[in-house]
Amino acid sequence: MLDNEYLKQLNEQQRQAVLYCDGPQLVIAGAGSGKTRVLTYKIVHLLNLGLPPFRIMALTFTNKAAREMRERIVRMVDSMQARQLWMGTFHSIFSRLLRANAERIGFKSDFTIYDATDSRSLIKLIVKDMGLDDKEYKPATLQSRISMVKNMLISPDDYARNRALRDADDKAQRPLTHIIYKTYWNRCRVAGAMDFDDLLFYTNILLRDNPDVCERYQDMFQYILVDEYQDTNFAQHLIVSQLCKRHGRLCVVGDDAQSIYSFRGANIANILGLSKEYPNLQTFKLEQNYRSTQRIIEAANSLIAKNKKQISKHIFSENAVGDRIPVIQCFSDYEEAYVVANQIASLKARTGCSYEDIAVLYRTNAQSRTLEEALKNGGRRDKHGHTREAIPYRIYGGLSFYQRKEVKDAVCYFRLIINPDDDEALRRVVNTPARGIGDTTMGRVQHCALEQGVSLWHVLCNPDESGLNVNSGIKKKMSAFTDLIKGLIELNNNGASALDVAEEVIARSRLKAVLLGDNTPENISRQENIDELVNAVNDFVLQKEEEGDESNRLTDFLAETSLLTDQDEDDSQSGERVTLMTVHAAKGLEFKNVIIVGVEEDLFPSAMSSDTLAGIEEERRLLYVAITRAMQNCVITYATSRYRNGQTNLCVMSRFISDIDPQYLQMSATSSSFAGTQRDVPSFSPRPPRPSVEYRRSLERPAQPASPQSSRPLAASAAMPGDFVTHTVDEVSEGCIINHSRFGQGAITTIDTSGTDAKIVVDFGDVGVKTLLLKFAKFKIL
């Protein structure tokens, strides 16, 4: 494209950013402002100015982003030019540089690249070779630690001399981490292999220790462009600085308001401090949002304005004004899930949108469990107890709750307790957590079982009788395992509830205990998933008990769970589906309708982030990202109670909701707005249900200061757990309004005293109609 016709497709801010080529520039690209278009047109403009394509380096974080940019460029210039661009991810581009200069850093050009699985496997082997306990020296934790220090450009020798790092390892009871790092480093070199972090580490070494190579690439790459600069770490930032040091022709694009990956090593200071590194830096701000309604953008602006460390900007939209953002107070996480399901069904019916147009965003993966169950149930039950059609969904970038490894491990323990001859369940848990019964032993057990036509369990319980050829040490380990399972079987057979058995399984098997002390994000998520499984069992037991249904044993829970997992398979084959995902996974995506759940203190913001200003500001940026995924409608929900760690905990509304200018919000409280036996589902409509007096007063109080030291935001009206008690038939009447410990607020429609035990029928609105045994149901009469 030799003419400048493409420039007419840009707004004035975009056009100026594309045309400027005289020095370093920072393009602050607000959410939905056309960032990819600017990067693409910038490259096309450079080509039209006569810069050879092989002199342009464009760095991205994902292959998808690089591919999308290249495809756009191909449509605008000669395809040969597009192919000659040095465009790709940091890792792919730098691996090319390293292969071309491998001998300078002591490698061969055909070095292997280890992925995360290869890396962890090698670390696991090193721990084993050193005779260390892998419960103390967990490979995942070590891998995360090594990755962190490599991205800080700390070599094994530097690590060994660093007192602060060594002290931290001593405190974590992993004093030999520096030796493991050194061993890992050496074994990778002997194997002629680099992991992903090495690609950045060795590129820095190559440029630092070989001035001629550095100068060659500085001359070769006359223009360097970097996407998502707010997500760069120290190693990436330093490479970019080295490559453009001589000419300063650098264009970085990013948005400090969307910096949410510090746990991966991203350093927001890279983008905030760019003007200090380049005094002649020109900053261009893409402030027009093409994605969202005006109210969504203004709400997001008012939220992020509370952050102190940021580049000033005012994002605006010329789209429709749009509706205010509903903020729905739910009584419990259980009710919240059904509110979400009803929101989805109501929205689809009212607007005719597709399920594909709706996303539900949450802070942690464990939150998906109640949402999944509510969507499978289709939301609200009618007065006859019938449910609507299930709402199809998908878990974006992950597995549905009951398909996650740690959940499946625990469920397989449950299965084995019910049926010890379940070979598939036994294979999964016999060495989970590791107890020294490895593949070789299980291969022999399998051989004996097949020869004699018996189960694996039979062989494990009777190794001598089965002719199993293993030493006494292995037999002792097998005996410990079978004793564990037999003890749990006895507990279950003696009439223990599903909850009692589940809690004992988690405790005795040490499924959760082996995860404690490892605070990597992945490991914390696994712990939360195990806790949520216990919550699921507790929900099951309580519901069965209150409904007078005696099928509350572990076998009954498994029967219900198996139906849920069967539905997972069905959902995976369906067409349009609602997307469930974490906010982190949603970055870069957009949906017509977004529902953000669990916006409560200690959840969003997370408890781990509440101790520092930097942590709170990143959590606030995370909610900003969540809100700006929405194109037409956004809704926020939170619960005033949430079941965690075996008990109901009171929750308070997140301080971030108070940060948002109230003129852009529509406050509504489901549990406090109940009237009679019917109530409207709070939707995206402009007229909210009427909150309780206490709740309205709480909203009229001044918003809390936006700092981690401030007092917590005021909770909405909520009863204490101790307020929920059982009641006699004389204490209730038809039409009576109650507050239930799990289902929230409802109206008693019928009292049945015909049987042995009195029952009440309660319409809980969003959650549906429930029949409860009075002697078990715990509620507060309002």
What is the distance between the alpha carbons of residues 557 and 678, in angstroms, rounded to a whole number? 31
Active site residue 228: yes
Which of 721, 757, 716, 714 is closest to 740 using CA atoms?
Answer: 721
Which residue in the list 629, 644, 679, 742 is annotated as catalytic?
629
What would the DSSP string read from start to end of 514-539?
Answer: GGTT---HHHHHHHHHHHHHHHHHHH
Check 227, 298, 335, 766 and give the catalytic one: 227
600/427 Cα distance (integer angstroms): 40
Q: Of 258, 293, 628, 637, which one is the catalytic site residue?
A: 258
Active site residue 742: no
Inter-residue contact 44 to 321 (CB < 8 Å):
no
| Residues ≥6 apart with Cβ < 8 Å to 476 | none
Pairing of strands 759-763, 86-89: unpaired
Look at residue 506 and give its three-state secondary structure.
helix
Asked about 227 being catalytic, the answer comes back as yes
For the packed helices 116-129 and 177-190, what is the interaxial angle rounded to 10 degrees?
A: 120
Task: Say which of 36, 222, 242, 565 is annotated catalytic.
Answer: 36
Distance CA 333, CA 702 (A): 27
**Who's near 346: CB < 8 A, 6+ residues apart?**
681, 683
Angle between helices 196-209 and 90-100 (to 10 degrees): 50
| Distance from C-alpha of 328 to C-alpha of 333, rounded to nearest angstrom | 12
Specify the residue for token string 């970097």. Answer: 226
Contact 61, 253 (CB under 8 A): no
* Active-site pick, 169, 195, 198, 228: 228
Under 8 Å between Cβ of 590 and 629 = yes
Q: What are phi and psi of 172, to 5 degrees?
A: -85, 5
314 and 287 Cβ atoms separated by less than 8 Å? yes
**What DSSP state is assigned to residue 293?**
-
Q: Which amino acid is at 661?
A: D
**Chain centroid to CA 694: how far?**
34
Instruction: Specify whether 36 is catalytic.
Output: yes
Active site residue 208: no
Q: Which residues pair with 60 in a beta bridge?
A: 89
Active-site residue (options: 35, 174, 285, 363): 35
Distance CA 650, CA 89 (A): 45
Query: CA-CA distance, 398 to 406, in Å (whole number)?
Result: 13
Is 348 noted as a catalytic residue in this protein? no
Alpha carbon 477 to its chain centroid, in Å, reads 37
Active site residues: 35-36, 227-228, 258, 629
